[in-house]
Each structure stands twice: as structure tokens, then as C-alpha cells.
A = this chain, B = another copy of it.
């Protein structure tokens, strides 16, 4: 029997509030109506605040990747260079997209290790039309120095593209202050909406340098911006209407809590997971430094010695809690717990408690209740 009460503690899709699910299930409306336009406008206004930007915001139907695709393809053509910085799976995706449309100058770092800003600087000194990076590298649980790279990008007059998909709304993310020309998020992360929408904020500086035609037909920021300026506000192609209903409701929920308050709560929740890991003798995966921090939205931990992915995640799954494993080269080596959106203290405690029980079964629990206690303290319980 599926009781529909599985607890999703993965870094997206995340748990969606019943209030948002109800809003999503409203009957269809025409996507060319004033009613749809008003919903889009309301979302755009709130998203501007959410992104900490005065830039124009458009919403595309697709996964976060369609936003990354649109950003790169709207700016980069066959003869253009784009510096792509990576220290995980999603940074590498920017390199793949850059190679598809132009000349990607890849600046790779070991997965889960901080950027060496000198290397980024050197790559930019050779000249590039754009630089792209991931702020919160979901695959390794590390935030990257967007502010610092943004300064370098502006100095070298490069368009600055930042994947904020698993970051915006969970970590500090200052689109305008950090000189981010194109910032991207996905609906299924800190916004706590089901997946299927990419949100993209575009500076006038980026827009002025858009190519005549984007590399991709569908993933075309110019077309989306043109339609968003029509009256009523619309999208160039038929949008996923129910996800707009959901987004509007979720934005109102987040706004009621306060965007800053939600970030602060998310921060406490990630601290709770890290405190529990420490108390249970579980090592965090990423390496941090003064510019690169543990993520507030996803905590990546090394798989405890002698415990298999199957036993750890499989054991938790049996108790109705889904956490993520490692991706690609990290498969079986790490596991990841997401803390985003409407995740509650109870969700965190239930997760840690279950992790303890699974470790106990594996004979790897050092100190019974220590994880829950540490998490509870961090949560202020």
C-alpha cells in the first residue's frame, strides 16, 4: 500500500506543501488570457525579490537545465569563448553546453574542492564572451564564490552566468550585488514547487549582447522576454499552466514566511544535519575555504567505512525516507541530504533518527541518540 507519505530528503524534487498541491490542481485556463498574465506578473514581481534583483525575470517550461541551455545559447555562438568553471556534475554540464554552442574554456577542479580563483582569473585574461559557474554544486554539497568570480567577470567585461538552481532561496544569493547577468533557478528546489519550471533573471547588459538568434529554438531567452513584455504577459509557447498556479502559491507561502527568514531556517536545518553527522562520526564530503562553504540546501557526506549505499540508503528507504546517493564517479562513495523549501524540523529529526537506526543495524552507531541530540540543539529544540 502506498500511503503517499514518503519523506523526500533529496536535493530536488523536494516536498511540496499541500496548499501548493491544491493550488496546482485548479482547472486549466487559457495561457493567452489576462488571468494567466496576472499570475505570471505576480510571480515575476515576487521572484525579483527572491533573486534580489531588479533584472527582468522570465519563466520557462522545462527542467533547470533548459535555463542553463537558454543562458549559454542566447549569448554564445560558434566562434565565442565561454569560461566554464566546474567542481562537480552541474559545473561540467556548463562545459558540455558551452562545447555544444561555442568554444568552452574549461577550468575544472576536483569534484568537491574549492575553485582556485587565480586559475579563473588566468582563463578570463585570455578573453571570453562569458563565464559560467554553478553557485551551489548539488553533486558535492559546496557553494562556490560567485561574488568573487562576478568581480573578475565584470573586470574582463564577460557576461556572468550563474546556475543558482539549488541555491537561490536557500543560500545567500545576491544577483545584482554580485554582478550576475543571467541567474537561473528551478521550481523544485528552495521554491518547493514540483519540477518543470526554470526561472531566469536577465540583466540589460546581457540582453544587449544577446545573439540575433539563440543557439536553441525552444530555449530562447529573447523570445521569452519578448512574450513577457506583451499585454497580457505571456510565454512564447504553451506553458505548464498548473506549475504556474503552484509557483504563485509557493511564492506567497515563502513571502509570508519571509524570504530572509526562510534562508535562515534552511541554514539552521543544514547546520543540524552537519552537527548530526559530526556526532555520528560521519565525515562531510566537500573541502571548504574562506570563499567556498558547506551548502545550506544539500549536505554531502562520505559513506561510512564498511557500509554499502544499498544498506544505508536502501535501509532508510524501507523506513520511508529517501536520501540521494553520489552521482557518476561518486556513486556509492557519498550520500546527500537535502534541506530546502518547506522541510520541517520534524523532517530533519525523523531523517537523523532513521539514519541512526540504520547505522545501528550495520554495527556502526557509536553513540545512540547523539545525532538526534546534536540536530535538535542546532534546531534550537
Contact = CB atoms under 8 A, between A and B. Distances in A.
Given A196-B61, A216-B69, A216-B219, A27 B6 contact: yes
A241 interface: yes
Interface string A91-131: 00000110011000000000000000000000000000000
A376 interface: no
A215 B218 contact: no
A72 B69 CA distance: 17
A73 interface: yes
A31 B238 contact: no
Given A64-B237, A217-B73, A13 B31 contact: yes
Of the listed residues A15, A24, A61, A69, the one surrounded by the most CB atoms of chain B closer than 10 A to its CB is: A61
22 contacts: A8-B28, A8-B29, A14-B28, A16-B27, A22-B25, A24-B25, A28-B194, A61-B61, A61-B63, A62-B62, A62-B237, A65-B217, A73-B217, A100-B217, A101-B217, A186-B238, A194-B240, A194-B241, A195-B238, A195-B240, A218-B219, A242-B246
Contact of A27 (B4, B33, B69, B217): B4
A242 B242 contact: yes
A135 to B, nearest CB: 18
A213 interface: yes
Interface in A1-60: 4-6, 8, 10, 12-16, 21-22, 24-31, 33
A184 interface: no
Copies in the complex: 2
A320 to B, nearest CB: 12
Contacts of A100: 213, 217
Contacts of A219: 216-219
B16 A239 contact: no
A273 interface: no
Contacts of A15: 27-28
Contacts of A26: 4, 21
A164 to B, nearest CB: 15
A237 to B, nearest CB: 4
Interface residues of A, number: 55
Nearest to A8: B28
A247 to B, nearest CB: 12
Given A219-B216, A219-B218, A196 B28 contact: no
Interface string A319-355: 0001000000000000000000000000000000000
Contact of A8 (B22, B30, B64, B216): B30
B218 A66 contact: yes
Contacts of A179: none
Most buried by B among A24, A31, A217, A219: A217
Contacts of A28: 8, 13-16, 188, 194-195
Given A21-B25, A196-B196, A217 B62 contact: no
Contacts of A63: 61, 218, 237-240
A162 interface: no
A111 to B, nearest CB: 19
Given A13-B30, A25-B22, A240 B238 contact: no
A175 B310 CA distance: 42
Given A8-B29, A29-B8, A217-B96, A238 B61 contact: no
A243 interface: yes
Given A213-B100, A218-B65, A196 B242 contact: yes
